[in-house]
């Protein structure tokens, strides 16, 4: 397996790789998430992300084929009347092709995010996950993540 940093030439590849997770989200929350209509549905999004100096995207490859990615954002917020200043890496997206899951690819991607955070001098990584995604929750907890916040909604 090879992990590499994404370049501006990878937007279409990332758009294709994120379809699996996008479809999963759309299946569980069709009132929120769109089903990707084409492979290039998110190219503009990834173009923007890859141009952002506070974003790093890592791509996992097996036998020359891309099988997953992780999108990390450096988040910095100043002190407010309510909170201390914060600086952390947010894992905004992670996706591994379903047939490749369980083979260490997600772990390697998470380790890449951790190394990236350390290079930035950041000592905390955060992510969020939808309630239905229990398989991912187990993975995140196995990677050492702790739950720390809950969000609720009330449809009216």
Task: For residue 132, tell me if it sits in a domain.
Answer: yes
Residue 109: per-residue pLDDT: 99
| CA atoms of 123 and 7, how far apart (whole Å) | 25
DSSP state of 100: G
Q: Is residue 153 part of a domain?
A: no
Query: What's the confidence (pLDDT) of residue 86?
Result: 97
CA distance 116 to 123: 11
For residue 89, being part of any structural domain is answered with yes
Question: Where residue 104 sits, what CATH number does that domain have?
Answer: 3.40.630.30
Give the model's pLDDT for residue 50: 98
Alpha helices in the chain (DSSP H): 11-17, 19-28, 43-51, 105-119, 134-142
Residue 78 falls inside a structural domain: yes
- Predicted local distance difference test score (pLDDT) of residue 59: 99
In terms of residue numbers, what domain contains 33? 2-142
pLDDT of residue 111: 98
The pLDDT value recorded for residue 15 is 98
Q: How many domains does the chain have?
A: 1
Q: pTM of the predicted model, to two decimals? A: 0.95
Q: Is there a domain that residue 19 lies in?
A: yes
The residue ranges of the chain whose pLDDT is under 70 are none
Residue with token string 């969020």: 128
**Which helix or strand (DSSP H or E) is residue 52 part of?**
none
Output the pLDDT for position 32.
96
Predicted local distance difference test score (pLDDT) of residue 107? 98
Kindly state whether residue 97 falls inside one of the protein's structural domains: yes
pLDDT for 29 equals 97
């Amino acid at each position: 397996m090879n992990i590499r940093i994404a370049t501006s030439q990878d937007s279409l590849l990332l758009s294709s790789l994120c379809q699996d997770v996008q479809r999963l989200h759309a299946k569980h929350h069709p009132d929120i998430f769109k089903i990707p209509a084409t492979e290039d549905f998110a190219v503009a999004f990834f173009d923007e992300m890859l141009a952002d100096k506070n974003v790093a995207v890592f791509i996992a490859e097996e036998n020359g084929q891309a099988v997953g990615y992780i999108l990390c954002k450096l988040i910095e917020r100043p002190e407010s009347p309510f909170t201390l200043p914060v600086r952390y890496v947010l894992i905004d997206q992670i996706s591994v092709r379903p047939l490749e899951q369980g083979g260490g690819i997600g772990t390697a991607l998470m380790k890449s995010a951790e190394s990236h955070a350390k290079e930035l001098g950041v000592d905390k990584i955060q992510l969020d996950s939808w309630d239905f995604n229990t398989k991912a929750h187990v993975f995140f907890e196995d990677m050492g993540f702790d739950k720390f916040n809950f969000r609720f909604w009330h449809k009216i």
